[in-house]
Amino acid sequence: MLRLPRFVTLVACLMICAMLRPAPLAAQADTPLQDVLQAVQPLVASPSRATVPQVLAALLDADAPGTVDFLRAWAEREVHERPDDGLFFYARDGADRNLILIDIDTGEVAGDVSSRDVNQIRPNAGVRREINAALVSFELLNPNPDRRMAALAAIARSPDADQIPALESALAAEEEARIALRMERLLDLLNARFATDSATRVDAIEGLRGDISTEARRALNQILQTRADFAPDIPEDTNVARIRTPGEDMDLIAAYATLSDAGLVPPRQGRNAIRDALRLNAVSGEVGGIPVHRLDTDEMRRTAYRALQDAGTVPPLVTQADMEARVAEYIFFDAYLEPDAAVTDAARDALDSTRTAISLWQFLGISLDALSLASIFFLAAIGLAITFGVMRVINMAHGEFIMMGAYTGYVVQTVIPNLTTSLVVAFPLAFAVTFGAGVAMERLVIRHLYTRPLETLLATFGISIALQQLAKNIFGTQARPLTSPDWLAGAIQVNDVVSVASIRVAIFAMALAFLLLLLFILNRTRLGLEVRAVTQNPGMAASMGINPDRINMLTFGLGSGIAGVAGVAIGLVAQVTSEMGANYIVQSFMTVVVGGVGSVFGTLAGATLIGALQKGIEWFNPANTLAAQTYMVLFIILFIQFRPKGIVALKGRAAGD
Amino acid sequence: MDIPRHTAAAPSSRRSFLRDNPSVMWFMGCLGLFSLIVTILSEGMGIGLISTNLVKVLGMTLCLCLIAIAMDVVWGYCGILSLGHFAFFGLGGYAIGMWLMYARTEIVIRDSLGRGTIPPTELEVSEAVAAQIFGVVGSSELPMIWSFAGSLTFQLGMVVLVPGLLALVFGWLAFRSRVTGVYLSILTQAMTLALSLYLFQNDTGLRGNNGLSGLQNVPGFLSTPQAIISIWFFWASAFALGAGYLLFAWLVSGKFGSVIRAIRDNEARVRFLGYNVEGYKLFVFTVTAIVSGIAGALYYPQAGIINPAEIAPIASIYLAVWVAIGGRGRLYGAVIGAASVSLLSSWLTGGGAPNIDLGFYRVVWTDWWLVLLGLGFVLVTLFFPKGIGGLFDYLVRKQ
Amino acid sequence: MTKKHMLSTVAATALLATPALADCPIQVGVLHSLSGSMAISETTLRDVMLMLIDEQNKKGGVLGCELEAVVVDPASDWPLFAELTRQLLTVNEVDVIFGAWTSVSRKALLPVLEELNGLFFYPVQYEGQESSRNVFYTGAAPNQQAIPAVDYFLEELGVESFALLGTDYVYPRTTNAILESYLLSKGIAAEDIFVNYTPFGHSDWSTIVGDVIGLGAGGKQVGVISTINGDANIGFYTELAAQGVSADDIPVVAFSVGEEELSGLDTSRLVGHLAAWNYFMSADTPANEEFIAAWHEFIGDTNRVTNDPMEAHYIGFNMWVQAVEAAGTTDVDAVREAMWGQEFPNLTGGMAVMNVNHHLSKPVLIGEIRADGQFDIISQTEEVPGEAWSPFLEESATLVSDWSELGCGMFDTATETCVQLTSNY
């Protein structure tokens, strides 16, 4: 027999039990469960968190066979109501969107109806939480370990004093170590909050000292809940958390308002109250002897009010001094809901002991977020680091190459349903597509403009505008998701404070891989050598037998191809839209310029700085992410003023101009 | 490009300036004639062949022409590809918009509160105005920057001062540290981005994404029909364009013009000749920013609404596109570019142009206009660097 | 543009000369963005309008006249909304306009509408604090969506600590301001309300989701109220799923996420999170089945979903037809007066009623996301009358709107005066 989760409803339960007794005796033998349910029919048909304890009480009291199964089915939304007679049925799908009804007592088929002729009962999450909590004592002994874990999760969600004995007996019988460990832990949490003697509680609380998990801190904070109160003298048995001084750590007007709300002092007249009082007492264009038209300052209004006050028509004005005097007669304080000071002291102590650790972990969390953001910026910018940094070609369509890569990934995902395979295909394909687009653009447009950098900027703008609109025409304006495979969908949970989505870790690894690959290509391969030669002196390079046209084409293709791959990666964490490139282009240029043009390490430094900066500003102003972005751009503008060559400035001949 | 023949002996008197620059006379004539025709055909003052809507569109186009010639001076003549002039345009609009909104709301509020038994205090008025303006964005307090929004003189001052000061400070920082070329372009774009992000925040106190609206209702003329008001604004825009054109034509025709063109062509050489290059650039940047601000202050009361999306970096890019298509380094080129591209754009995207059915595919202009514009722009940069204005050179040379 | 305008103006002038004959066909303006960022949402509404007009014509039109749709494209460009409204009212001389989605576009066209005395139906859930003489609001006001959802959080889910996450623009700002003051009035402490605003299209959600999870340590049940708009939702829900935030631990209720927004998103990891609307496609009624069938037939694609603003247009259009027939004319003032008290059945059951404050009485539905991208309706209220002015905000607590008795959309009951007859834009 299970105890009620809420004793508040005991009275209601008794009433329902009383109603239950005279239920039709004849039918009782065949349909005991249905009868119990019919006694509380409306509460079962439209369940609510406030009424579900009554139903649970009635059901568990009657203890009809199949009750536990019914509760499970009820929570899982498998129960239907037939509105004609109000009877409840289980159901399974039949032909033609029809439902096959199953009797809840006998398990026999009870008819085949349209889904519109019965109401599916859909208990909401709050109701289901109550039902699951009620099922805990059954589920804790369930042979299936998953069910036992689920029951423990239910306890963690709605802890209750009554769960302690059930948990204790389940713990005694538990064989699996992992579950037993979890049970012990929950028992600690329950004891800390609900144990009857102070010593057990303090003991349990001591056990939570230094524990940074959310549930431990949640339990401690629940013990430490306070209420605001006031009294002429603090009552004897109050466990005071803090005393407030009006005018210092409490607003004087608010303190006075508390008193006036309690009816202890006359209400204070605000500006509006004075105006309304004057309006009510205006007689033939005058209030208290002052013509109405002169009442357009607060001072005149107060004078008029005083005149009315002297005449006795309105209550006296509450002045600052009045408020101070009346407020001083009372003590305002916060009191713990928990009367036992030993328990609250221990809880406060335990909670304080986690402070430092939590700040450190939070700092680590923010740093990881910054690192993740930096790796995304780096990926977006690294292609640009090659085309702009090495070749000095301004490619404003770089963002559109990112977008093109992301859409390639999207198309691949629509063709290949397996997410892992589609990703494996998408990356090289995105590279190929954007490599091709880059080469085409270099051949057709940029080649003609190498001597006119500003014109390159404009022409690539034109291409960027055209590509964006083209993407809109083809894919529509709705954002398309790139879905990551299941093994990348979760998060790496360090502890309850720090967790990083796996996909972000993957992107970080990818950024790292690209960095190494690029360094290798530029510094260790023939192509890299030729690229550097052409960049420094195209004429001399040409006379040494290098074909500058070919090298420019390949370099530009490489930069664009990397942008495409970055697009797939970014699409996995963000959304694929035709405007996604435009969102990254200015930031990417910033990254390259801040880091130092012409250096891959510079781009890395730039991305790290920008990522850290954005997260840092967000940390100080968590309510407004937009502000963080604004200040970041401002900072970058200023930074470039003072270090125009960026963080990693090239020296010597490589610096070019 | 079109350097006047007598650069050495710069004309000093107004008469010879006009004689040396026949295009200015031509332009003024055309502008005057155009204004006259529009007035005669308008709904408000003439025979009603041109709807009020169109008068507004034409008036706005004139404002766009004004900012285009400013852009032409700073880019086509001085070689600074600024991607931030639309930000100054927007700031001018915001400055005048604040007064339009505040003053209109104040009239309504005073009228409403004045009908009560007891007259309102000044505090009550300003609180009620704030609740009206900012109730929309879930706030009811008047931000600091609105303290003088009730004063037309103050806000008109802001139209000039805010863009001017921003350009001065930004330009000083940028030119001082010798940021040039594409770096400067990217930096100006970053400034525009920062400004639009800043304005997008509600905390800025300019109603965030919603911006300022109802700007077409001019306080004091609330009962005047829009048909009339639109003509007034059209005249004002035409006058501003004419004055701006004169100012810039005069500026670029003298010695000053020669120096800034020289800076465009070879900055280092001009510096070695002893000119204060930074000073010249800063002057051009600031003056054009102020003119942009004025253009914006005339544009937005006709558009009726201003919000941060107007300032987004893409708007400034379009500005560069207009000027490039019209032809850099000649003022009338900028006017032609701005007028033709923006009118064509609103005709094609406004659903005015008939869609073309190719049988296998239906060309919907709203979908394809930007693709065409983008590609057309690439072609212009590649093959016609002088833009439409270049055609005039060609014709003149042929004669 | 010049030529077209001149021609249409000439045509309009010609028509003016013979007003009696010019009444047929009745012109219905449709002002939804067909390009630009809002096209994805608004194009659907254009299609619904065309479908409704088509159906009405098959039934014989209105007052014996054919209806003719005048469709224009404001291209998600707010000033263009004002410009095209003027064009629709003066050049095309439409009798009614159905359109707009974002609040900023509505605010942009309001002055023109009020100046030229047009008639406008606005179909989207919005922040309230407005009641124009010329607009009928068929979408939800905050008390028809946000407040009931918060009540649900408080009563059914026992939420005590709230995270209000929104995109930084008008609707979330005002809605959150109303909700904050509502929550305070319900005894939720100010420190238990966490508010955050992000830009449009925000994609970096890891820190914010982490912060929300961190709220759980405070010892109170945490719930998230999301007014995040559009694309940003994809990143937000992906991060929620990645960090394993289950609806059992931290429920999220969204006001801007419906069937359309979920289509294409993998919802299997979001099952149980909530949305509040006045309509869900999954509503099991004969009227809704018929509407969905008609929609699928009209659009020629059975995979297309229906959503709340579509129902709003459905109700709004049908009410307008009834009002025109009742008034016997399409004259704006006559139709406006005939609109008050009009009734039309909801697709979810019950009757929608147009009130004198130009807002509808509609039921409020709360749905849980299912794995197939639809919603399980878990709560449906009686019809709730829409409030133009929120009683929970100090500056609007004393305001009421009553166009029938008081003839004023912004009447201050404290001073007993009409604050203004036009709207604040």
Length of chain C: 425
Q: Are both C270 and C310 inside the same structural domain?
A: no
Reduce the DSSP state of residue A350 to 3 states and report it: helix
> Is residue A101 located within the same domain as residue A119?
yes
- Domain limits at B368? 18-353+363-398
User: Is residue C277 located within the same domain as residue C171?
Assistant: yes
Between CA C26 and CA C198 the distance in angstroms is 44
Mean residue pLDDT of chain A comes to 85
Q: Could you tell me the CATH number of the domain that includes residue C160? A: 3.40.50.2300
The answer for B 270-329 residues in CB contact with A (under 8 A) is: 313-314, 317, 320-321, 324
Do both C111 and C133 map to the same domain? yes
Element containing residue C378 per DSSP (H, E): strand C375-385
Torsion of CA B330, B332, B336, B338, to 10 degrees: 70
For residues C88-93, average pLDDT: 89
- Asked if the structure places residue C394 within a domain, the reply is no
Do A506 and A397 share a domain, yes or no?
yes
Q: Cα(C103)–Cα(C126) distance, rounded to whole angstroms?
A: 7
Indicate the residue of A373, A502, A624 with minimum beta-carbon distance to C204: A373
Average pLDDT, chain C: 87
Question: What pLDDT, on the 0 to 100 scale, is given for residue B350?
Answer: 63
Alpha carbons A314 and A304: distance in angstroms, whole number: 11
Is B362 in the A-facing interface, judged by CB distances under 8 Å? no
Among the ranges A172-181, A290-299, C45-54, which has the highest mean pLDDT value?
A: C45-54
Q: Write down the pLDDT at residue B228.
A: 92
pLDDT at A356 exceeding the cut of 60:
yes
C-chain residues within 8 Å CB-CB of B43? 9
Residue B15: pLDDT band with limits 50, 70, 90? low
Best of B107, B204, B210 to disrupt the C interface (most C CBs within 10 Å) is B210
Read off the pLDDT of each residue in A463-479 and give the average, rounded to a whole number: 86
C 177-196: CB under 8 A from A: 195-196
> In this structure, are residues C223 and C186 in contact, taking their beta carbons and an 8 Å threshold?
no
User: What is the chain A residue with the closest CA to C158?
Assistant: A126
**What residue in B sits closest to C102 (Cα-Cα)?**
B210
DSSP per residue over A254-307, as a string? Answer: HHHHHHHHTTSSPPPP-HHHHHHHHHHT-BTTEETTEEGGG--SHHHHHHHHHH
| Among the ranges given (A273-287, B348-362, C390-404), the one the predictor scored with the smallest mean pLDDT | B348-362
The torsion region of residue C392 among left (phi > 0), alpha (psi -120 to 50) and beta comes to alpha
- Tell me the residue range of the domain where C173 lies: 143-283+368-385
- Amino acid at position C184, single letter: L
pLDDT at B389: 80
As a whole-number percent, the residues of chain C with pLDDT over 90 amount to 53
Mean pLDDT over C230-236 rounds to 81
Residue C417 in any domain: the answer is no
| Residues with Cβ within 8 Å of residue B134, at least 6 apart in sequence | B140, B141, B142, B207
Tokens of C49: 């309008």
- Residue C212 structure tokens: 């929300």
The number of distinct structural domains making up chain C is 2
Q: Which of A223, A257, A280 is the last residue of a domain?
A: A223
pLDDT above 70 as % of chain C: 95
Query: Using a CB-CB distance cutoff of 8 angstroms, which residues of chain A are in contact with residue B368?
Result: 469, 473
B137/C173 CB distance under 8 A? yes
DSSP SS3 for A102: strand
Tell me how far apart the alpha carbons of residues C185 and C189 are, in angstroms, rounded to a whole number: 9
Q: ipTM, 2 decimals?
A: 0.84
Tokens of A611: 């990522």
Amino acid (one-letter) located at A477:
T
CA atoms within 13 A on the CB side of C326: 18
**Do residues C259 and C281 make contact, with C-beta atoms less than 8 angstroms apart?**
yes
Q: How many domains does chain B have?
A: 1
Order of strands, sheet of C67-72, starting from the edge strand that comes earlier in the sequence: C67-72, C26-31, C96-99, C120-122, C135-137
CB atoms within 10 A of CB C167: 25
C 99-118 → B contacts, CB under 8 A: 103-104, 107-108, 110-112, 115
Q: How far is CA A318 from CA A258, A274, C189, in A?
A: 15, 11, 28
Q: What is the pLDDT of residue C4?
A: 43
Q: Which residue in B has a C-alpha nearest to residue A459's C-alpha?
A: B378
pLDDT of residue A1: 41
Kindly report the backbone phi and psi dihedral angles of residue A563, in degrees, each rounded to the nearest multiple of 5, phi listed first. Answer: -60, -40
End-to-end CA distance of chain C: 29
Chain A to chain C, count of Cβ pairs less than 8 Å apart? 156
CA distances from A442 to A394, B148, B325, C160, C354 (A): 11, 54, 22, 59, 61
Residues A80, A120: contact at Cβ < 8 Å?
yes
Is pLDDT above 60 for A19? no
Torsions phi, psi for C408 (to 5 deg): -150, 140
Q: Is the pTM of this model over 0.80?
A: yes
Angle at which helix A163-173 crosses helix A177-194, to 10 degrees, equals 160
Give the domain-ending residue among A83, A106, A127.
A127
Hey, what are A524's tokens? 């260790």
Please state, as a whole number, how many other Cβ atoms lie within 10 Å of the Cβ of residue A65.
10
Average pLDDT, integer, range A539-544: 87
How many Å separate Cα B154 from the centre of its chain?
A: 21
The answer, for B108 touching chain C at a CB cutoff of 8 Å, is yes
Q: Which of residues 18-57 of B touch A (CB under 8 A)?
A: none
Q: Where are the beta strands (DSSP E) in chain B?
A: 212-213, 305-306, 356-357, 362-363
What's the Cα-to-Cα distance from A295 to each of A281, A292, A304, rounded to whole Å?
Answer: 13, 5, 8
Question: What's the pLDDT score for residue A29?
Answer: 54
Give the pLDDT score at C57. Answer: 95
B201 to chain A, closest Cα gap in Å: 7
Q: Is it the case that residue A20 has pLDDT exceeding 50? A: no
Kindly report the length of chain A.
Answer: 657
- The confidence score (pLDDT) of residue C229 equals 83
Please say if the pLDDT value at position A588 is more than 60: yes
DSSP line for C275-322: EEES--TT---HHHHHHHHHHHHHHT-TT----HHHHHHHHHHHHHHH
Rounded-to-integer distance, Cα A203 and Cα A199, Å? 6
Asked if residue A655 is part of any domain, the answer here is no
Same domain as A480, residue A446: yes
**Quick one: pLDDT at residue C348?**
93
pLDDT score recorded for residue C347: 95
DSSP class of A576: B
Q: Counting Cβ atoms within 10 Å, is residue A325 exposed (0-12), middle (13-18) or buried (19+)?
A: exposed
Domain assignment of residue A596, yes or no = no
Q: Specify whether A333 is located in the same domain as A380.
A: no
Tell me the mean pLDDT in the region A2-30: 46
Cα separation, A95 vs B52, in Å, equals 63
Tokens describing residue A519: 């360094």
β-bridge partners, C417: C412
Residue of C nearest to B210 (CA): C104
pLDDT category, A642, cuts 50, 70, 90?
confident
Distances (CA, A) of C123 to C31, C220, C308: 12, 37, 9
Residue C2 scores a pLDDT above 50? no
Q: Could you tell me if residue A363 is inside a domain?
A: no
Query: What is the SS3 assignment for C401?
Result: strand
CB of B108 within 8 Å of any CB in chain A? no
Nearest to residue A625, comparing CAs of C65, B360, C206, C358? C206
Tokens coding A182? 């979890």
| Token pair in block for residue A297 | 């300052």
pLDDT for residue A197: 87
One-letter amino acid at B234 equals: F
What pLDDT is attached to residue C142? 92
- Within this chain, do residues A379 and A452 fall inside the same structural domain, yes or no? yes
Q: Which residues of chain A lie closer than 8 angstroms to C377, CB-CB? A: 122
The answer to whether residues C229 and C196 belong to one domain is yes
| Calpha distance B181→B178 (Å, rounded) | 10
Q: Are residues A335 and A231 in the same domain?
A: yes
pLDDT band at B398 (very low <50, low <70, confident <90, very high): low
Q: Which ranges of B7-51 would DSSP assign to H, the alpha helix?
A: 14-20, 22-41
Q: Each residue of C10-38: b (16+ CB within 10 Å) or e?
A: eebeeeeeeeeeeeeebbbbbbbbbbbbb
Per-residue pLDDT tens digits for A225-282:
888 889 988 888 888 888 888 888 888 888 999 899 888 888 888 888 888 888 888 8
Specify if A491 maps to a domain.
yes
Amino acid at site C360:
L
Among the candidates C317, C347, C362, a domain finishes at C362
Spatial CA neighbour of C49 closest among C309, C279, C284: C309
C374 neighbors C282 (Cβ within 8 angstroms): yes
Q: What are phi and psi of C335, to 5 degrees?
A: -65, -40
Phi, psi at A476, each rounded to 5°: 80, 175
pLDDT digits (tens, 9 = 90+) for A397-428: 999 999 999 999 999 999 998 989 999 999 99
Q: At what angle do helices B313-326 and A453-475 cross, to 10 degrees?
A: 120
Provide the number of structural domains found in chain A. Answer: 4
Q: Kindly report which listed range (A511-520, A557-566, B72-81, B366-375) carries the lowest average pLDDT score.
A: B366-375
Cα–Cα distance measured from residue B329 to residue B248, given in angstroms and rounded to the nearest whole number: 12
Helix (H) or strand (E) holding C164: strand C161-167
Phi, psi at C186, each rounded to 5°: -90, 5
Q: What residues make up the domain containing A93?
A: 7-127
Whole-angstrom distance, CA of residue B374 vs CA of residue B302: 28
- Burial group, residue A284, by CB count within 10 angstroms (0-12, 13-18, 19+): exposed
Indicate whether A623 pLDDT > 70: no
What integer pLDDT is reported at residue C383 of this predicted model?
A: 92
Same domain, A212 and A312: no
Residue-level pLDDT at A218: 87
Of the candidates A124, A489, A577, the beta carbon closest to that of C241 is on A489
Question: Do B210 and C169 lie within an 8 Å CB cutoff?
Answer: yes
Q: pLDDT for C344-385, tens place per residue?
A: 999 998 899 999 999 999 999 999 999 888 999 998 899 999
Domain membership of residue C14 (yes or no) is no
Residues in CB range of C217: below 8 A, 6 or more apart:
A214, A217, A218, A221, A496
Is residue C238 domain-shared with residue C260, that is, in the same domain? yes
Q: In what order do the strands lie in the sheet with A240-244?
A: A226-231, A331-336, A240-244
